[in-house]
Structures are given as C-alpha cells and as structure tokens.
C-alpha cells in the first residue's frame, strides 16, 4: 500500500474508530502467540459491528486488502508483514450474554466474535452449563474458534454452535446455522468463502450440568495441557493437522526430531507436535523448520503433514549485499 493510500485509509478509519484503536506499521509479533511476524500497514481494533462495517467500507473504497485476526493463536505472519488493513477482532469486541433458556431444555449463550473461548467456557461453567469444557484451555477467540472449528479432548465447536453471524466485505450480515457452517476437522465454510467474512457473534446451545463436575473436567484438561504441552513458550499450538489415524506429534517424535532447531525456532522437547519460537526466531526460521519436519516425516513414514497454522503476509525483502 503506498503512503497516500495509507493516509487516506487512516483518515477514513478515524471517522468511526477511536484513534487509540488504530495502529500504523505495527509489528504483528505483538498480536500473535508465536511472537513473530513483520508489520501490518494499518491495524484496526473495532469495538462495535458498525465500526467493523465502516472499516470494511473504508478498505473497499480504496481497494485495500483486508486480513482478519483474533488472538493470533493460530497464525504465522511472514517477516515482511501484512499489506493493507488488518482487522483485529479481540478484547474490544468481547461481550458474552447471559444464558437464555431454550424450549428443548438447553440454554443459549451468545458471544461477540472477539470474546476469548476460555472466557466463554468459564461463563458456561459458572452457569452450570456443560459442553464447552474442551475449550477451557484453547487460547483463541470465539470467531477464530468457529473459523477453525477448534477442538480438544473429544469436543469441538461443531458440537455446540447453533448460529454464527458474520459481515461480508460489502457490509451484508449473514447468519449461518451450525449445519450451514459445514464444520469438519479444523474446517468451516468460512475457509471456502471467496471473500473474507468477519464473525461478529457466535451462539452456543448447552445442556444443564453439575457446576462442580464441569469445573473439575476443565481443571483436569488444563492440568493435562500444563503437563504435556509447552504452554509457556511462544507457539501456535499444534502446528500440523492430525493425519488420518495418526498423531502428528508421535510421528515427529518417532522420526527423532524433538529438539530439531532452525535459528530461533525448534521442535518442542515436551510435545513434538508443537513447534516453538523459543529463541526469538523469525518467520523464515519457523517456516524452514516446518519444511524440514514435513520432509523428514514424509521420507521416513510416507505421511504428508499438513499445516494447521494459517500462514499470512509477505516474506521480508531480500537483503542485497
Ligand atoms: C498453546 C496453544 C494451544 C492450543 N490448543 C488448541 C487446541 O487444543 N485445539 C485447537 O483447535 N486449537 C488450539 N490452538 C490453536 C488456536 O488457539 C485455535 O485455532 C483458535 O481457534 C484460534 O483462534 P484465534 O482467535 O487465535 O484466531 P487467529 O489465530 O487470530 O486466526 C486463525 C484464523 O481464524 C480467522 N479468524 C480469526 N478471528 C476471526 C473472526 N472474528 N472472523 C473470521 N475469521 C476469523 C483468521 O483470519 C485466521 O485465518 C492452540 C494454540 C496455542 C497457542
């Protein structure tokens, strides 16, 4: 994006979004759990549906590309950063409703797209509602959670989501039922959409349960995470999807790749499915590590490891010496 377009975009954004929620040339490492990635030309943090719609309209009027992120817990931003407008749907847009009883005995809770999945799972537990225990340790937003159909410990968003509302780049609001979301393993219909759709709200339907049992299950899942996953190091969780009938981490471990390092990125010695940025690596390090792991696992086991992490942005310009 050239400087003139950037200034025009900033001017338009400032008409509807508070100035402190608009950032120029901001390192994406601040917005991703991998703690790496080059700068976004412009990043906006809208706090209402109207602000999201006007950010989309501003970008469309200037033909500026739009990228959406939530908590950045499943994105790898290349070192050259992201051109155009990044819309960050996060803590500024994170309300969670009280439960509403449904005729079938379940209760519905609706969360804004930027609400933390962990906060939603905790709210459900507080109200004695079961079905979201699996999400109590997934560090993303509900928007990212439905986009990815996040899941763990036998549960996934697919099991509980009844309605997703999203805004299209032309400002239209579209409501999807759970079925229309076409959830599959780490897949939703939003990934197939030709235009980026911004999830603004997600409704889940949950059955009543025993609050103590629900909390105990969440504690147990989180204890397992602390024991088995390198949750204190920058990562994006499991870097690879689970190959059919196998576990990526087990295959990587069996190939002797735990501890394999490229620059500041390495294969976790605790859980080989986690590639961690433990020494302030670059996206280039991380991508090279992914490629090495994929190559060795393919050579030794014949299994193709597909990335779960969404790779966005541009490579850094080559340095000419
Ligand atoms: C330590 C750790 C543990 C993890 N454990 C798990 C796990 O157990 N199970 C699991 O499934 N995942 C896990 N993850 C991965 C990640 O938390 C999930 O994929 C999560 O759903 C991503 O949400 P996010 O808000 O961070 O999305 P981001 O990473 O910001 O974005 C991911 C994708 O979703 C899109 N997106 C985000 N928000 C929106 C929105 N509002 N509207 C439309 N599109 C949107 C983005 O464009 C991007 O393509 C883990 C990650 C970490 C770091």
C-beta of 87 in contact with ligand 1 (< 6 A): no
Average pLDDT over residues 52-60: 96
90 CA distance to ligand 1 centroid (A)? Answer: 12
**Average pLDDT, whole number, for the chain?**
97
Strand bridging mode 173-177 / 161-167: antiparallel
Give the three-class secondary structure for 197.
coil
Q: For residues 91 and 96, what is the distance between their CA atoms, to the nearest angstrom?
A: 11
Q: For residues 305 and 296, what is the distance between their CA atoms, to the nearest angstrom?
A: 10
CB 98 within 8 A of CB 110: no
In this predicted model, what pLDDT tens digit does every residue of 160-219 receive, in sequence order?
999 999 999 999 999 999 999 999 999 999 999 988 899 999 999 999 999 999 999 999
Residues 6+ apart with CB under 8 A from 255: 296, 297, 300, 301
C-beta of 155 in contact with ligand 1 (< 6 A): no
φ/ψ of residue 23, rounded to 5: -130, 145
Write out the two tokens for 24: 């120029």
Kindly tell me if the per-residue pLDDT of 318 is higher than 80: no
Write out the two tokens for 286: 């991380």
Handedness of CA 64, 68, 72, 78 (dihedral sign): negative
For the chain, the domains span 3-88, 100-228, 248-312
Helices (H) and strands (E) in the chain, counts: 7, 17
Residue 195: per-residue pLDDT = 86
C-beta of 276 in contact with ligand 1 (< 6 A): no
Q: For residues 309 and 298, what is the distance between their CA atoms, to the nearest angstrom?
A: 19
- CATH number, domain 248-312: 3.90.78.10
Q: For residues 227 and 268, what is the distance between their CA atoms, to the nearest angstrom?
A: 13
Among 1.20.1440.230, 3.90.1570.30, 3.40.50.970, 3.30.43.10, what is the CATH number of 3-88? Answer: 3.30.43.10
Q: Take atom 45 of ligand 1 and give the residue whose Cα is closest.
A: 144
280 CA distance to ligand 1 centroid (A)? Answer: 21
Q: For residue 179, count CB atoms less than 10 angstroms from its CB and return exposed for 0-12, middle for 13-18, buried for 19 or more.
A: exposed
- Centroid of chain to Cα 182: 18
In this predicted model, what pLDDT tens digit does every residue of 82-140 receive, in sequence order?
999 999 999 999 999 999 999 999 999 999 999 999 999 999 999 999 999 999 999 99
If DSSP states are collapsed to H, E and C, what string results for 102-121? CCCCCEEEEEECCCEHHHHH
User: Which atom of ligand 1 is the closest one to the Cα of 90?
Assistant: 25
- CATH number, domain 100-228: 3.30.465.10
Q: For residues 10 and 44, what is the distance between their CA atoms, to the nearest angstrom?
A: 9
C-beta of 56 in contact with ligand 1 (< 6 A): no
Give the three-class secondary structure for 1.
coil
C-beta of 168 in contact with ligand 1 (< 6 A): no
32 CA distance to ligand 1 centroid (A)? Answer: 10
Kindly tell me if the per-residue pLDDT of 320 is higher than 80: no
Give the three-class secondary structure for 307.
strand
């Amino acid at each position: 994006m050239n400087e003139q377009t950037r200034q025009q975009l900033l001017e338009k954004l400032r008409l509807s979004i508070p100035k402190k929620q608009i950032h120029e040339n901001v390192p994406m490492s601040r917005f991703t759990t991998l703690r790496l990635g080059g700068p976004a030309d412009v990043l906006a943090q809208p706090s209402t549906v109207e602000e999201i719609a006007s950010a989309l309209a501003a970008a469309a009027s200037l033909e500026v590309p739009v990228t959406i992120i939530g908590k950045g817990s499943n994105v790898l931003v290349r070192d050259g950063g992201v051109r155009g407008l990044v819309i960050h749907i996060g803590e500024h847009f994170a309300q969670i409703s009280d439960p509403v009883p449904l005729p079938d005995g379940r209760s519905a809770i609706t969360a804004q797209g930027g609400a933390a999945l962990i906060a939603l799972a905790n709210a459900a537990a507080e109200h004695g509602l079961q079905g979201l225990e699996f999400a109590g340790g997934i560090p993303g937003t509900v928007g990212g959670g439905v986009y990815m159909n996040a899941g763990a410990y036998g549960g996934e968003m697919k099991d509980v989501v009844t309605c997703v509302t999203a805004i299209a780049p032309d400002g239209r609001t579209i409501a999807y039922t759970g079925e229309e979301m076409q959830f599959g393993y780490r897949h939703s219909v939003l990934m197939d959409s030709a235009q980026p759709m911004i999830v603004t709200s997600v409704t889940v339907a949950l059955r009543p349960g025993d609050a103590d049992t629900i909390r105990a299950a969440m504690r147990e899942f989180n204890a397992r995470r602390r024991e088995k996953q390198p949750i204190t190091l920058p990562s994006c969780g499991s870097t690879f999807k689970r190959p059919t009938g196998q576990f990526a981490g087990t295959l990587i471990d069996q190939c002797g790749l735990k501890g394999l390092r490229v620059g500041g990125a390495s294969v976790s010695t605790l859980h080989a499915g986690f590639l961690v940025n433990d020494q302030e690596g670059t996206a280039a390090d991380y991508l090279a590590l992914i490629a090495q792991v994929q190559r060795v696992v393919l050579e030794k086991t014949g299994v193709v490891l597909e990335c779960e992490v969404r790779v966005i942005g541009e490579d850094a310009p080559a340095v000419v010496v």
